[in-house]
Amino acid sequence: MSQPAPLDPSPKLDLSPLSVPDLLCTSAMTTRDIERVFAVARTLKAGRTVHTDVLRHKRLAMIFEKDSLRTRFTFDIGMQDLGGSAVFMDHRDARLGSRESVKDVAKNLERWVHGIVARTFKHKVLEELAMHTGIPVINGLSDFVHPCQALSDFFTLSEKWGSVKGRTLTYVGDGNNTCHALIHTAVKLGTNIRVCSPEGYEPNARVVNEAMRVAQETGTEVTILNDPDAAADGADAIYTDVWASMGQEDEIEERNGIFAAYQVDEEMMARAKQGALFMHCLPAHRGWEVTQEVMDGPQSVVYDIAENRLHVQKAVLALLIR
């Protein structure tokens, strides 16, 4: 009796270049780019002990102006998993451009490393880095947009649902960087997105207008509203984030009052579809933007998302670094 053929221990990866040299915002990516990131992430996740030579002898610079748990660990571990190494640069006390120009930092780094991950306050700093270097620059979070988070969010949804096309994601809370990234990514993938914020805290109008133009091509809907009940009604997933982002600590008390009616609780989840997922990019404040019952309940996929930051970012690294 013939023996079955052994399984290929190292599934092949399509690592041909994306249409973009950097990852600053998913708005610059094509739908195919995003789908390729997901395909590579699935393969890497399935074979965690293989593909250790994809980025062998490659080095990544990690420049952080803000605190981080998930972004720092997952990019560092991701480079190690792929055979490379990472060097951490703490810029929390001296932001990029203060001691040395952003251009000079970029020009120096491209002589030593093969890619840069930067977590900055100002988005234009990332754009400057990308402008002045020939190596890929990856946005680890800026005050404008958080693309790696949104890619991980939608990768997780694709795992849970099979397809995100035609589904409805509701984001409740501040129209911040995570919200902007979700809007850009949703319309690329054919997901309807509703954003519900208090008046005056809606997402950036330029982001919304650009997404609406893309939505016309992909047949999706972008809805901005202020009524949490209407936003939650029939949604496939409900997403929230902290009410005060990093750099807004002096606004916490004021924002807690303004956003109190936008807390994701069991009543809000009950308005969504049966079995709707709860999402949060973390860190979370139980009892503020989300109740403990929802955060730690059976509909919550927050830790699945956190795990998938590793796999999605490994895919991004593998596809961008040469």
Which sequence positions are flagged as catalytic?
119, 146, 149, 241, 281, 309
The β-bridge partners of 300 are 278
Virtual torsion, Cα 290, 294, 300, 305, nearest 10 deg: 20
User: Ramachandran region of residue 115, left (φ > 0), alpha (ψ -120 to 50) or beta?
Assistant: beta
316 token code pair: 């991004």
The Cα 218–Cα 188 span in angstroms is: 7
The Cα 106–Cα 250 span in angstroms is: 32
For residue 178, which phi and psi values (nearest 5 degrees)? -65, -45
Closest listed residue to residue 296, CA positions, set 307, 274, 280: 280
Residue carrying structure tokens 């306050």: 121
Q: What is the DSSP string of 256-308?
A: HHHTGGG-B-HHHHHHS-TT-EEEE-S---BTTTB-HHHHTSTTB-HHHHHHH
Q: What order of strands is seen across the sheet that includes strand 277-280?
A: 222-225, 192-196, 168-172, 237-240, 277-280
Distance in angstroms between the alpha carbons of the first and the last residue of the chain = 46
Measured CA to CA in angstroms, residue 40 lies from 44, 48, 153, 317 at distances of 6, 12, 16, 10
